[in-house]
């Protein structure tokens, strides 16, 4: 992930912890790039798909590092990461073997990421802010 903002992360998905919001935005931006690449094409950007999974894993590792650094119980969140990486890798293998289409895979990852942010990362970011003494400017 390169540190630049794309403007593609909807306000509803902001968690008010800049490091995490930036990573989420970069993931959403890369997903959009891959969807645009796949739309109307029969070519599968295999390396791009693998990079997406790798970027997700790096993001998850960063969240786990932050939790450890701030003394936050991350066990349930970590299990969700592990289960979802397994599911995403399985979906990617289906695309690469030709039993599923690329655009459906990307949409699946996008929906999963949005849901994960709302169900897990929002609360995690609140715990991080509390631990770090940072106040949210969101309502």
| 22-58 burial code (b ≥16 CB/10 A, e <16) | bbbbbbbbbbebbeeebeeeeebbeeebeebeebbee
pLDDT for 48 beyond 80: yes
Task: Kindly state the average pLDDT of the residues 64-85.
Answer: 94
Task: Kindly state the average pLDDT of the residues 88-93.
Answer: 95
Per-chain mean pLDDT for the chain: 89
Q: Return the pLDDT at 6.
A: 54
Q: Return the pLDDT at 38.
A: 87
């Amino acid at each position: 992930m390169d540190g630049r903002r794309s403007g593609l992360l909807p306000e509803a998905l902001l968690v008010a912890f800049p490091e995490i919001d930036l990573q989420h935005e970069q993931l959403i931006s890369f997903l959009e790039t891959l969807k645009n690449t796949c739309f109307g094409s029969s070519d599968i950007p295999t390396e791009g798909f693998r990079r997406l999974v790798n970027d997700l894993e790096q993001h998850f590792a960063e969240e786990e590092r932050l939790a450890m650094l701030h003394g936050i119980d991350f066990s349930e969140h970590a299990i969700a990461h592990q289960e979802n990486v397994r599911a995403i890798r399985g979906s990617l293998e289906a695309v690469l073997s030709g039993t599923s289409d690329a655009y459906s895979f990307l949409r699946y990852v996008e929906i999963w990421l949005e849901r994960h942010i709302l169900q897990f990362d929002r609360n995690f970011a609140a715990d991080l802010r509390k631990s770090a003494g940072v106040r949210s400017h969101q309502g």
